[in-house]
Structure 1
C-alpha cells in the first residue's frame, strides 16, 4: 500500500498525520494498537501524555508565547473508526491499514470505509501538537475510544482530569456547519428462540439476496429515506410467506448499529409445485421495490438463486410472529424537530438481524435529541417485539447535547467563519451522536462547539473526504486558535 499521493496533498501537515493514523488498525473496542500509537506520539514530542482507566489518551501542550494569557482549549476527536467493506473486497481490518486514493477532489478508500470519521479530527490535533510554528493557547488533546459502538470512552472519562475551559469537538461532517447540539441514543436488542422443523420432501432451496444499497450513517443519513436491507428482505419474505409454502432457514442482514444496512441474505425452502409462481411473484415484488427506490438506490440488486434444499426451517407459527414483528417495527424518521428546521428529532435504525439454528437477534439504534421522545420510540419497539415473544434489552443509553445559542466560543467561530469566507456558517444541531453531551455531564461549565471538514458517506465503503474542504477547515482551525478569549 502506497499512500504517497495522499501525503502530497495540502495541507501536508494534516494529510501526513492522517496517513500515519490510517496505517494503524483501529476498530471500535479493539483500540489497543492506536492507543499505543498515540501515547508514543505524545511521548516522542516530549509532551505530558496520559492514558486514563478506560483507554482515553490525553496529551498536554503548553501555550505558545503570544497566547499564554488565553483560556486552555480541549481539542477532542475519537480514535476508533467504523469498519465496513463491500462483499467483494478482500480486507482484514484487524491487520491492514486503509488503502487510500485520490479521486478528483475526494480522498477515498478501496472498497472499505476511509476512517475520515473521525481520523481527520485526530490528524488535525496531531499536526498542531507536532508543529513548532502554529500559534495556540494551552492545549489538552483528548483522544477518546469506542465512540462508534457505545461512546464508552466519553462515558468513562472522569471529572477533574481535564483542566480546559473550552472544548473543540472536530467531528462535524460539513465544513459550513457549526454544531451546537446532537442526539442521544439507546441500543435496543431483541432476542428469542424459535422451533425448527425438518424440511419435508418436495421442497426446493433458494438463496435470497438484497445488496447494492448505499448504506451510510444511521443518524446523519436517516433523513434521506435510503433503503434498509433488513426491512427490504423482510418485505420480500413476508410477501412470499403470505402467498406460498415457504420456510426460513437463516437470515443474515446488516452489521453495525450506527450503519444503515446495505446487504442481507436469507436461505429458504419453497414447495417444488409452487416454484414457477414463486419466482414470478418475486420478480413482481422486486420490480415494485426497484420502482420505489429508483432515484435513491440505483445500484440496488434483489435476486434469488436455487440451491440444495436446507435440512431445517423455522416453525410456521414462529415464522409468522417474527416476520410480522419486523414488519411492524419502526425504521427511519419517527419525529422531526418542531423547533429546528429540517432536524430529525427521533429515529430508529433496524441495523442487524441474524437468524439461524433456533435463535434470532435483532439490533436497533434509537436516536433522539429529546429524551422523552427517545423513550417513547424505545417503548414502541419494545412493545412490538415483546408481543412477538422476544426478550428486549435496552443498553448503552447516552444523553444528547442541548444547544446553547449564547455560547461564547460559538460567537468566536461565527465571527471567524464570516471573516474568512465572507458568508455566515450554518449553526445547527445534528442527529448524530457526538460526545459533547456525555462529556458535559462531568464538565458542565465547559463551553463546547463542534465543527469539521466535509465528509460524505460516513460508515459506508462510499466514505470520502473533500480535499478542498480539508484545506478550508485547516485554515479555520488555525485562525480559531489565535482568537481564543483571554482567561479571566
Structure 2
C-alpha cells in the first residue's frame, strides 16, 4: 500500500514522507522520531544536534556558487495529530500510518495522514539528502510538540540559529503565502460533583453523536462544521427540560485543536416517559441533522436502550453544566476589521468529560489580537465559574504580526506569478504557526509560511493533493535558487 506512495512524483518528497510516516510520532511522545531525525542527519555527515527540549537542528553548507546567499532556516514540526475513526483498529504508539492513493489524493486508512506537517518535514529531508538541488546554506529546524502546546518552539533558545530567512512549511493551501497567524490559550474548566443513586423507576440509554467531519479548529472554525460537544449538549438539555433526563457519563471530543467529531453519553429517564422521550429525541435529532445537512451529511445520532446506570450526576450540578456549555462561545467570536475574511478570534469547545464525580471541559481559544484573545478567555472563564467550576488558563502563545514589507515575501510573490501566471493569496491565517514564538528569540528573522494543499487536517479525512505537492515542490526549488545575497 505505502509502496504506491513511493512511486509518486516528485519521488524525493514522497519517499521521505513514506519513511517518516513509518515512525510513530504522537505529540509529547516524539522520542522515536527525534532519534530517527538525528540518525538521518548524521548518516549524511551533516552537523546535527538535539537541543535540550528535543528540537532537531541539521545544518548543510551551500552548494557551489551559492555561498554568498543568506542562510535559510527551513522549519517544520515533527509531531502529528492522532485521530482515528471509532471503528478503526489502530495503535498510534506502535504502528506506522497506512497510506493509499485515491485519484489525485493521498489518504490514510481510517486515521489522520500526518501530512500536517509531515510533508514539510519530508521536503526538508529531501533537500538535505540531495546532491543536485541548488541551495544556500540551510539550517533545518525540526520542532517538537507543535500540536499540543508548541513547547518545542517555546523552548528553542536564541543563538542556535544564524539564518536570516525562515521558511515555515506548515501552510495548507498551495496558492497562499502566509505572513501572520493567531496566538492561542487553553481554557480548562473543572469541578467535582456528588453522584446520586439512580432510582428503580429509571431506564437507561446511551446517546452517540457520530459521523461529523471534524477538522482543524483554527483553519476550519469558520466553515460551520458541527461540534459534537455542542450538539450532544442540545440533546441533553432538551431531555432534562422536558423529561428530567439525568446524566451518568459524557465523553466528547478528543484533541484541543480538533473540532469534535464524536460525543457519547449515558443517561437515565423515568420509565413513564419512555415513549415520549424516544419520540422527542428523534424529532430533535432529525431537526439538528436537517440544520447541518449541507456541511455534515453523514451525521448520526444513535439512541440505544441499555440497563439504567447505577449513578447519576447531582441534579444542581447537571443543570449548571448543561447551561454553561450551552452559553459558552463556540466558533467565530470576531472577524478581523483589518484583514478581509480573516477570523480574528474564536473558540473550540474541544473536550467534555463527565465521569466518576469529575467534570473537565477543555477549550482552545485563538486570536490574532492578544487583547481579544484574553477577552474571550475571560468570557469563558466567567461562564464556567458561574456554575461552580475552577478555570485554568495555560499554554498561552503569541501570534505572528504580518510584515508586508518582507524581502522574502517580495521574492516569493514574484516567483509565484512567474510560475503560475496568477497572484498568490498573501494572508494571515487563523491557525497557530510557530513563527510568532520563534520570533521572540529571533526578532530580526524574515519569516514566511507556505505549503501544498492539505484538506481535513486533524481528522481521519486528512488528505494531501498529489498535483499540488508537485506544484509546491517546484516552488520550493525556485525559492532556494532566488534567495538574496548577504
TM-score (norm 2): 1.00
Per-residue deviation, residues 76-110 of structure 1 (Å, max 9, x unmatched): 00000000000000000000000000000000000
Q: Distance in 1 between matches of 2:107 and 2:299?
A: 21
Residue segments in structure 1 that go unaligned for 5+ positions in a row: none
Q: Distance in 2 between matches of 1:262 and 1:219?
A: 15
Deviation at 1:20, TM superposition (A): 0.1
Q: Distance in 1 between matches of 2:16 and 2:65?
A: 26
Deviation at 1:126, TM superposition (A): 0.1
Show the counterpart of 1:24: 23
Show the counterpart of 2:351: 352
Show the counterpart of 2:366: 367
> Does the residue aligned with 2:222 lie in a helix, a strand or coil?
helix
Show the counterpart of 2:105: 106
Per-residue deviation, residues 395-442 of structure 1 (Å, max 9, x unmatched): 000000000000000001001101111111000000000000000000
Show the counterpart of 2:375: 376
Q: Distance in 1 between matches of 2:2 and 2:225?
A: 32
Q: Distance in 2 between matches of 1:214 and 1:8?
A: 30
> Does the residue aligned with 2:24 lie in a helix, a strand or coil?
coil
Q: Distance in 2 between matches of 1:247 and 1:175?
A: 49
Show the counterpart of 1:482: 481
Show the counterpart of 2:258: 259
Q: Distance in 1 between matches of 2:27 and 2:80?
A: 6
1:213-362 paired onto structure 2 within 5 Å: 213-362=212-361
> Does the residue aligned with 1:205 lie in a helix, a strand or coil?
strand
Show the counterpart of 1:120: 119
> Does the residue aligned with 2:209 lie in a helix, a strand or coil?
strand
Q: Distance in 2 between matches of 1:9 and 1:165?
A: 33
> Does the residue aligned with 1:411 lie in a helix, a strand or coil?
helix
Deviation at 1:246, TM superposition (A): 1.8
Per-residue deviation, residues 444-476 of structure 1 (Å, max 9, x unmatched): 000000000000000000000000000000000
Show the counterpart of 2:135: 136
Deviation at 1:202, TM superposition (A): 1.2
Show the counterpart of 1:71: 70
Show the counterpart of 2:466: 467
Are 2:387 and 1:385 aligned? no
Q: Distance in 2 between matches of 1:126 and 1:246?
A: 55
Show the counterpart of 1:454: 453
Per-residue deviation, residues 210-249 of structure 1 (Å, max 9, x unmatched): 0000000000000101000000000100000000022110
Q: Distance in 2 between matches of 1:315 and 1:457?
A: 39
Q: Distance in 2 between matches of 1:276 and 1:203?
A: 13
Q: Distance in 2 between matches of 1:9 and 1:287?
A: 43
> Does the residue aligned with 1:395 lie in a helix, a strand or coil?
strand
Are 2:185 and 1:186 aligned? yes
Show the counterpart of 1:91: 90
> Does the residue aligned with 1:222 lie in a helix, a strand or coil?
coil
Are 2:163 and 1:164 aligned? yes
> Does the residue aligned with 1:306 lie in a helix, a strand or coil?
strand
Are 2:405 and 1:399 aligned? no
Show the counterpart of 1:421: 420
Q: Distance in 1 between matches of 2:276 and 2:403?
A: 60
Deviation at 1:195, TM superposition (A): 1.3
Q: Distance in 2 between matches of 1:319 and 1:483?
A: 61
Deviation at 1:66, TM superposition (A): 1.4
Q: Distance in 1 between matches of 2:258 and 2:119?
A: 19
Per-residue deviation, residues 113-160 of structure 1 (Å, max 9, x unmatched): 000000000000000000000000000000000000000000000011
Show the counterpart of 1:4: 3
> Does the residue aligned with 1:352 lie in a helix, a strand or coil?
strand
